[in-house]
Structure 1
Amino acid sequence: MTTTPGAPIAITEIFDLLPHRYPFLLVDRVLEYDPGVSITALKNVTINEPFFQGHFPGVPVMPGMLILEALAQAGGILVSKSLDGPLGDRIFMFTGVEKAKFRRPVTPGDQLVLRCFDLKRRMTLCKMRAQASVDGKVVAEADLSAAVVDKGAV
């Protein structure tokens, strides 16, 4: 399946771009992307998420690290769509987080808008700014770094 820059990417193509599966796939849809530049994706947060059983009983809050993981997965899609060819036997590995800030809690019923932008690539290393928002309000932000590595090297 191919897409044109700017066109939405449905879950079926996300399966082709990311190795993650339930319960760890945290991107439901890509709204738009510009290869090498930016991506905007969605994560619908429901009470059925397995982490809500223990985080926290009676006061369900999405763990901040999972918000960062959702941002990293959106960034992985951006990098995949920015490469000259398909990832093939390579995967996108999260390597660092800097300047992370969590501004407000994310709860069931929220729709996370995941934005990654200001992508910089040098050989197999990537850095980008990332921001998650709900209803137009920033809930988390960070500078993320990752590497594209061979699956056999993991």
Structure 2
Amino acid sequence: MNRKYDILNINKIFEILPHRYPFLLIDRIVHLENFKYLKAIKNCTINEPYFQGHFIKEPIFPGVLIIEAMAQASSILIYKSTGQLNINKLYYFVGIDNARFKNIVIPGDQIIIEITFLQSKRNMFIFKNKATVNKNIICKSKIIFAKKI
């Protein structure tokens, strides 16, 4: 079934990212403009392994995994924009600047991740990232990727 809002469904994401459960943190891409913008969805469910121990009486989605989800979404934008889906042309997550966490994420929340392309210089890509739940900012940062040389 081909639905209008499935810009990239999970099967297409599997073709791009090498990550698999439990470390694949992107469920769907709903908007994509090469070298400009990407909007992704991460659905948070209680059966995910990190909720079992982070924290037992009040489970929250770990902040480091919000950053990882933003990095995965950024890498999808790189690969879709450049068309370089090749193990010999990898881009590595090499930096994060100005990361700020504003709210928590709990089971049942849907994280909306927005990636905005800022610039490319030499072998690097720089993105501005924002994660929200119900239009409330959860996290903001800049993420830097470098091409494997």
* Counterpart for residue 123 of structure 1: 122
Does 1:136 find its partner at 2:135? yes
* Counterpart for residue 49 of structure 1: 48
Letter in 2 for 1:57: I
Contact kept? 1:30, 1:41, Cα under 8 Å: yes
* Counterpart for residue 88 of structure 1: 86
Helix, strand or coil: the match of 1:129?
A: strand
Deviations 1:76-110 (A, max 9, x none): 00000110x33211333211111010000000000
Deviations 1:107-129 (A, max 9, x none): 00000000010331123211110
Sequence identity percentage = 39
Helix, strand or coil: the match of 1:133?
A: strand
Contact kept? 1:7, 1:33, Cα under 8 Å: no
TM-score by length of 1: 0.88
Letter in 2 for 1:58: K
1:25 offset after TM fit, Å? 0.3
Q: Which of 20-29 and 116-125 deviates more? A: 116-125
1:53 offset after TM fit, Å? 1.2
How far, CA to CA, are the matches of 2:59 and 2:31 in structure 1?
30
TM-score by length of 2: 0.91
1:7 offset after TM fit, Å? 6.6
Contact kept? 2:6, 2:28, Cα under 8 Å: no
* Runs of 4+ displaced beyond 3 Å: none
Q: Which of 17-26 and 85-94 deviates more? A: 85-94
Helix, strand or coil: the match of 1:57?
A: coil
Helix, strand or coil: the match of 2:107?
A: coil
Deviations 1:4-50 (A, max 9, x none): xx971011110111111110000000001100001000000000111
Does 1:61 find its partner at 2:60? yes
Contact kept? 2:51, 2:59, Cα under 8 Å: yes
Ranges in structure 1 where 5+ consecutive residues have no aligned partner: 1-5
Ranges in structure 2 where 5+ consecutive residues have no aligned partner: none
- Aligned residue pairs total 144
Letter in 2 for 1:26: L
1:70-81 → structure 2 map (5 Å cutoff) = 70-81=69-80
Deviations 1:28-75 (A, max 9, x none): 000011000010000000001111111101110111110010001000
* Counterpart for residue 34 of structure 2: 35
